[in-house]
Amino acid sequence: MAMERNAMLFAVLITVIAASLGDSSNLNSSYRLPKSITPEHYNLRVFTHLGDQRGFIFHGQVAIRFLCLEDTDKVVLHSKNLTLPEERVLLRESVSDNQPNRSRQIDIKSLEYVTEHDYAVFHVSAPLKKGERYEITIPFESNLSTGLIGYYRSSYIDKKTKQKTWLAVTQFEPTYARQAFPCFDEPEMKATFDISLAHHERYVALSNMPLNRSMPLDSMPGWVLDEFNTTVPMSTYLVAYTVNDFEYREAKTTEPGDVVFKIWARRDAIDQVDYAREIGPRVTRFYEDYFHQKFPLPKIDMIAIPDFASGAMENWGLITYRETALLYHPNISTASNKHRVASVIAHELAHQWFGNLVTMRWWTDLWLNEGFATYVASLGVDYLHPEWYSLEEESISNTLDIFKFDALLSSHPISVEIGHPNQISQIFDAISYEKGSIVIRMMHLFLSEETFRNGVSRYLQRHAYGNAEQDNLWEALTEEAHANGVLPDFIDVKKVMDSWTLQTGYPIITVTRNYDANSAEVTQTRFVSSEVPKDQNVTDYCWWIPLTFTTAKQLDFNDTLPKGWMECKGEKEKHEKQVKLLDDLPDPEHWVIFNVQLAGLYKVKYDKANYRLIISQLNGARYHDIGLLNRAQLIDDAMDLAWTGQQNYGIAFAMMNYLRQETAYIPWKSALTNLNSLNRILKRTPIYDIFKSYVQYILEPIYEQLDVFNEAKKTTDRLDGIKQITLIASWACRFEVGDCANRSVELFSRWMNETNPDVSNPVPIDLRPVVYCNAIRLGNDSQWNFLWHRYLQSNVGSEKIMIIGSLACTRQVVLVERFLQSSLNSTSGVRKQDATILFSSVARNDVGFMAAKSFFLNRADEIYDFLSPDTSRLSRYIKPLAEQMFSTEEVQELNDLIQKKATIFEKANQGVKQALEMAQTNNKWSQTNFGKMERLLPILATRSTANTLDDLIDNF
């Protein structure tokens, strides 16, 4: 690794030297801008035409003041899809206030484009001198596209006028500012910005900073120019502006100096902003206190955009959202919708410190932005709504997702080397967000609350308004940890965390107890769900693992501070078996459980005797003596070990037998997530009916106890309680448990018979996804068309997404095919941003799978054109198909398509590789385990497993 780092440093050095020497050929090979100049200030003026006599275009000019760091004969910056009139470009020495007459114009000899890297290269007649400041003024013009990136246009139908209304908005992360104005479009090149927006007076304009003044444009009757205050130093990807006709509601300020908060939305949706208006200021104050740092801008605007590619974007002072991530309607949105709004708002506001105030140097450390914001957002939501008990639920949800995703050989490290910038969009994935969040939670728990908070505050203060790398954070945290003795001197945070951020995957530890000596031997290896090719060696991986455990005598499931460290030595020892010996373990009559509260990102495998003790505890009356998160962990680990063939399924199913008495959500979430992996494969096999019988057996008690459809019963305020009701109802209806399906059909029928179904709906809000899906699944054209009409009439984004998922439940092939066609038709009423949601919803349903597979195989090129320019989203089409493919023929079919269409999958190759590996893993599972399931499931389905637990453990 040291040799690789030295080689990388040498390559960077050569790049810098070549740039400073003015080596023009180097521009064709380097995707990074030369370091010879750096921007200090932008003066940006943009004119926006929204369907007037000039159509949909924007034009303007930018004046960039920059400092020359090395002598150079060219100015290199980014520009893409912009028309730059070369003859009007102006370069001059920068004018200082005390020497106004000193300015000298410098001729530009030629303008060269290096399209591979989006460079505009201005060759100058006289060398620019080191230490001098210059200003380049560049006019530009381009189209306002509908591609959801750069400066683009969106629209909606105004309810009153029935007219289509247009707006324009930016989305610059990661590298799209260059499509809006010429700029130095790299995160390290921070500068201040003066932004002015010209537009027709019927619109309003917003940007990162408050409006300074607005004036009419004499040359353009009916137009105004809005000038905004100067920004703090910031990266180009955080610049934001919009021209729209929205309304806003302002939050009430409670203390002097509070940030001015405004929530903007379509006029028809302004009644859905109150929840965001309430929680935005509260979570901002929480972060100010948590980070020991005041929010540095005077205002925050949060705006709901009808067409938006991602969930939201943390632009400093002007945060943009999908409608589903900002708007909440108390009479229509579900509790899960509310949780999502709270989570996304908390995430974006966390970015104002972690990402905006301190920014990564390069996209390699994107995870530090996203992982940290994801984790801190869970703390923010817990602060906003302690009654939800959401912190544990989010932790387990993220961890379960990552345990599946990161077990693939085609996963990638959290901190991933980025070559060409067109690779960046692919790392906005579960590894950067969820795994990043989990390893930061792990670090928080092994460092303690005080060390974590003080170390993070130290980091933010040290690098405010600048750029940093992950090593800078590790340094600040190590200083705190050593100062208060939380970590011994021989361990530093970098040493530990590098093993988690620079390697792909995560470990499984094997605990082998010596019952005579009351000790145990602990070993580690990388956990992989695929077959490992002969040329790969996963045993070379090793991690610094914080070991936590408790015993049947201690029952301490709260102490997450490490009782020992599994060390990862140097390169030499790394190739040797890593062994940790532990003493003072209990006697042979008592179990031991490792990884308390899932505090570490690792799985655990025990010897059979310890499993027998744990299974006996779980299946007894005092099952809850084992902590909630660890009950979920035990199920997930046992099922994953069985999936990969490292352990028999008998142990996993003996453990899950206890679910018939489990009343808490999180273990059920773990169990059903794992059973769903089996369900996806078994549902197209002859043994599916036996599998269904087993699922019915474990679900019946919890379904009866929850009494899902009893409207008189008081519902819980706990988020996990509401999520449990919807999860159990969903499975009960699908697997024909009790009266679930019939009650759903009956409720939906009552709704259809309402005089005004758009106003009056008898279906309980949180049960609507379950009721709608099952009524559509068991219904015909009339139910489907009724719900499709509700979709077209709905004014609530989250409701529209829920209806899309429900319409996909139909078993009628004609309806499925028509629905898939609508996803590529811009006039159908389905927005472009929702096309992938529609497709994956169809693909995951019984009849929909074959139709979706055929649709994708036959229309891959058309889908590619539809998604352009952001074709990284093609992986969202392949993954829901691949996760259900298991036959050798299907895997080959998928592989052939990927080979044949290699060019269209270029920007999605990471996700495509992962999808293919999923299908191959399913294929391997079916070859290895299908016969075992044929023998095991009939025993489980006899409903007498309580008497056969030992038999399961020993023989299956």
Q: Which residues are catalytic?
A: 348
Q: Please report, for the chain, how many H helices and E strands are present, in that order.
A: 30, 30
Burial of 131 (0-12, 13-18, 19+ CB in 10 A): exposed
As a residue count, the chain comes to 956
Q: Which residues in 116-128 are b (16+ Cβ under 10 Å) and which e?
A: ebbbbbbbbeeeb
Query: Are the beta carbons of 100 and 166 closer than 8 angstroms?
Result: no
Strand partners, 378: none
Which helix (H) or strand (E) segment is 741 a member of? helix 740-752
Q: Which residues in 870-893 are b (16+ Cβ under 10 Å) and which e?
A: bbbbbbbbbbbbbbbbbeeebbeb
Strand partners, 157: 164
Residue 282, number of CB atoms within 10 A of its CB: 15
Integer Cα distance of 176 and 422 in angstroms: 11
Whole-angstrom distance between the N-terminal and C-terminal Cα of the chain? 43
Token digits of residue 635? 């199920």
Token digits of residue 751? 């709704």
Query: Are the beta carbons of 613 and 590 closer than 8 angstroms?
Result: yes
| 942-to-327, 337, 458, 656, 702 alpha-carbon distances in Å | 48, 39, 60, 15, 19
Integer Cα distance of 36 and 291 in angstroms: 35
Give 3-state DSSP helix, strand, coil % of the chain, rounded to 5. Answer: 50, 20, 35
Integer Cα distance of 196 and 183 in angstroms: 16
Burial of 790 (0-12, 13-18, 19+ CB in 10 A): buried
> 550 Cβ partners below 8 Å, 6+ apart?
556, 557, 559, 592, 593, 596
Integer Cα distance of 688 and 682 in angstroms: 5
DSSP code for 413: -
Q: Which residue from 379, 400, 339, 341 is spatially nearest to 719, judged by alpha carbons?
A: 339
Residue 942, number of CB atoms within 10 A of its CB: 13
Integer Cα distance of 509 and 511 in angstroms: 6
Largest CA distance in the chain: 96
Integer Cα distance of 622 and 942 in angstroms: 25
> 700 Cβ partners below 8 Å, 6+ apart?
660, 737, 738
Integer Cα distance of 463 and 954 in angstroms: 58
Helices (H), 312-448: 323-326, 335-351, 366-384, 390-405, 430, 436-447
Helices (H), 189-301: 274-291
Integer Cα distance of 604 and 400 in angstroms: 14
Integer Cα distance of 519 and 429 in angstroms: 41
Strand partners, 687: none
Residue 162, number of CB atoms within 10 A of its CB: 7
User: Three-state SS for 57?
Assistant: strand
